[in-house]
Structure 1
């Protein structure tokens, strides 16, 4: 029964890790998108956003 419970209810630490990785990945993708969208406008403004946006989470 314990094996079935482990499969139906994953450990909270593992779920938190997956959520953290998902949020970090999405934030990096958004930062890259902002960086590329601002690259033609002013490439010097893109890199601070690229570095600061993921660190904001």
Structure 2
């Protein structure tokens, strides 16, 4: 993988972190949305490990 792709994955990972935090701070967080975001985050983390 090239550096640009790796950087893009890192940015997506950080973006998902922010979305998860924002959803958790809402008065009534959507558990299903949070679970889906965490799954996406895990897939990105696994892709980064293969770099």
TM range (shorter): 0.5 to 0.7
Runs (4+) of structure 1 exceeding 3 A deviation are: 53-56
Alignment of 1:1-57 (within 5 A): 17-41=2-26, 42=29, 44=31, 45-52=33-40, 55=43
Greater RCO structure (CA 8 Å; 6+ sep): 2
Query: So what's the TM-score if we normalise by structure 1?
Result: 0.54
Give the number of the structure whose alpha-carbon radius of gyration is greater. 1
Structure with greater helix share of residues: 1
> TM-score with structure 2 length normalisation?
0.59
For structure 2, the residue ranges without an aligned partner over 5 or more in a row are 45-51
Q: Secondary structure at the match of 2:36?
A: helix
